[in-house]
Amino acid sequence: MDVRSAELTKYAANAMLATRISFMNELANLAETLGADIELVRQGIGSDPRIGWHFLYAGCGYGGSCFPKDVKALIRTGREYGHDLKVLGAVEAANDAQKHVLVDKIVERFGEDLTGRRFAMWGLAFKPNTDDMREAPSRVIAEALFKRGATVTAYDPVAMQEAERIFGDEPRLSYAGRPKSALDEADALLIVTEWKEFRSPDFEAIKSRLKQPVIFDGRNMYDPAMVREQGIEYHAIGRV
């Protein structure tokens, strides 16, 4: 492969994966309105070998250093050479909007003015197994909650030091040493990063520690019916 083609291949690969994520996020938002379940839709389209299973999970948006940067780079390069890359422009816009979906659900549930509300946030890194918070949805969500008067108590297995560096002495953000500790006296739990340790939580402990048993799951980690059977109000992305 020649150098120019290799360079474009690298950007194109990440942009394609970002496109799949944004596509699924937009379908998830539509599924929720229609009363469909995006997890069943994912299983259906993923079983088509022309599509496959990878990067078909809906959530609260992608982050990190690669996907956002490479999508922006391709858009900018296209413009420099007279090409308006409309699909990638839509991918970027959809992802920016998706980072606000959990906040929209919170506002719908608790109202626009969140003064005096406190939320537990599980996950700060843009994905599991890293402390990277570049372009992380957690940053957008936390800032949006702060603007509405809320406070956040966050837990992440490895990214809390990075969060302290980013947010500095932000008085509306505190940190918990354990996932359960973040729940104490919070109005709801927000799940923002799909860490393995969050996959099988103690739902009774979640219920007893929160002021009211409400979960906003930005990563669709649990079966909605199972969580609701525990007596917990559950809001996911595109699931019924």
Residues taking part in catalysis: 66
Angle at 163 between CA 193 and CA 117, to 5 degrees: 75
Residue 27 is encoded by which pair of tokens?
Answer: 């379908």
Contact 137, 99 (CB under 8 A): yes
Q: Which residues contact 154 (CB under 8 A, 6 or more apart)?
A: 120, 121, 122, 124, 138, 142, 160, 163, 173, 174, 175, 176, 182
Residue 153 is encoded by which pair of tokens?
Answer: 């108590």
Q: Which residues contact 56 (CB under 8 A, 6 or more apart)?
A: 20, 24, 42, 45, 46
Residue 139 is encoded by which pair of tokens?
Answer: 């940053």
Contact 165, 159 (CB under 8 A): no
d(CA 193, CA 183): 16
